[in-house]
Structure 1
Amino acid sequence: MHNRLRLTAIAATTLLTTGAVASTTASTTASAAPNRAPSTSLVVNARISAHCSFDRIVVDVKGHLPPTTVKRVRELRYDASGRKVPLPGKHFLEIRLSPAAAHNAAGKSVYKGPRLVKPNLTKLKGFALTGDFEGVVHFGAAFNSRPDYTTKRLHHPERFVLDIAHRNTC
């Protein structure tokens, strides 16, 4: 009986010691990686351009490129207020990056791109930053006709690309 209690005490001490060493190692490793990407990606810019057979939207990200989705929506609304985004068009795409932010930890905007533009390209008629709230950054794109599009994730530097096809104009 005495030996069983002694073995249980030794096993418990070993487990506690191993856990403490593992915890110390993990915290040391985390603090020793100063060049690690921030946990929340920062959306720093967006660009639009026209090409012979497509219009292009590029979203530049500092840090790791977060999961990004594009979906068709009936209308565009600003995240915080719910107000309708004043862009021309009958068809709209919503671009969602999450987890991401367009501001730093102090709340200052790091986003240097357009907030709302009406470029009147072959397909793309409007583009806006529609939200930067609770770890999600939203953009909206407006079109007169239903857009056919493809997406790409490019690295070094990190960026998301949305190409909207149209007839060749060159």
Structure 2
Amino acid sequence: MRHLLRPRRRRIVALATGALLTAGLALAGPATAASAAASTTRTQTPLVVNARWGGHCTFDRIVIDLQGYVPTVNVSPVSKLVYDGSGKPVPLAGKYFLEIRLNPAAGHDDAGQNVYQGPRLQKIYLPKLKGIAMTGDYEGYVTFGAAFDTKPAYGVTVLHNPERVVVDVSHPNVC
């Protein structure tokens, strides 16, 4: 009788092990798919699709519109604006300049087609902001330059839904 219990016990253990493995795979499947989807979303290079601006009573605003997540943004004063790659000067009048650099980012898709629909070089006549230019879309960096007649005091904000970077440059109330 004892020898009959062993094969039966082995079958029960084998069935239980199979059931546990199946349950474990079923539970791991969606989590793995979700984490793979999250990592795919995060690894695709964000696309810069537009740059726009607006004047308000106490500040001028630059907005950079994105598809995907918001990359690292660095805004810094520079002594002059130059085009990435060539180093040629950007023809925007001004005495003070800000460089807005996004990385990783692209203004083109994987096929090399342009997705950026904003201005390449634009004179602007706001109280503080006098011009904006896209100065680079090169090796994972998208760069913009902004021109001012007086030293800009600025703040940078990241907004979501839709994804965008906002640079506000303060000025005295004009309203």
TM-score computed with the length of structure 1 as normaliser: 0.80
Q: Residue in 2 aligned with 1:90?
A: 95
Q: Does 1:33 align with 2:46?
A: no
Q: Residue in 1 aligned with 2:72?
A: 67
Name stretches of at least 5 consecutive residues in structure 2 with no aligned partner: 1-24
TM-score computed with the length of structure 2 as normaliser: 0.78
Q: Does 1:155 align with 2:165?
A: no
The one-letter code sitting in structure 2 at the alignment partner of 1:33 is A
Q: Tell me how far apart the structure 2 counterparts of residues 76 and 52 of structure 1 sit (CA, whole Å).
A: 27
Question: How far has the Cα of 1:81 moved from its partner?
Answer: 1.3
Q: Tell me how far apart the structure 2 counterparts of residues 44 and 73 of structure 1 sit (CA, whole Å).
A: 24
Q: Does 1:105 align with 2:107?
A: no
Match of 1:128 among 119, 130, 133: 133
Shift in alpha-carbon separation, 1:30–1:97, aligned structure 2, 3 A:
same
Shift in alpha-carbon separation, 1:106–1:120, aligned structure 2, 3 A:
same
Instruction: Give the secondary-structure state (helix, strand or coil) at the position aligned to 2:37.
Output: coil
Cα deviation 1:35-91 (Å, max 9, x = unaligned): 953620000011111111100000001000001010000000000211100000010
Q: Tell me how far apart the structure 2 counterparts of residues 31 and 59 of structure 1 sit (CA, whole Å).
A: 29
Equivalent residues in 2 for 1:45-84, closer than 5 Å: 45-84=50-89
Higher gyration radius (CA):
2
Structure with higher helix content: 2
The one-letter code sitting in structure 2 at the alignment partner of 1:95 is I
**Aligned residues, how many?**
145
Q: Tell me how far apart the structure 2 counterparts of residues 31 and 161 of structure 1 sit (CA, whole Å).
A: 30
What is the alpha-carbon root mean square deviation over aligned residues? 2.1
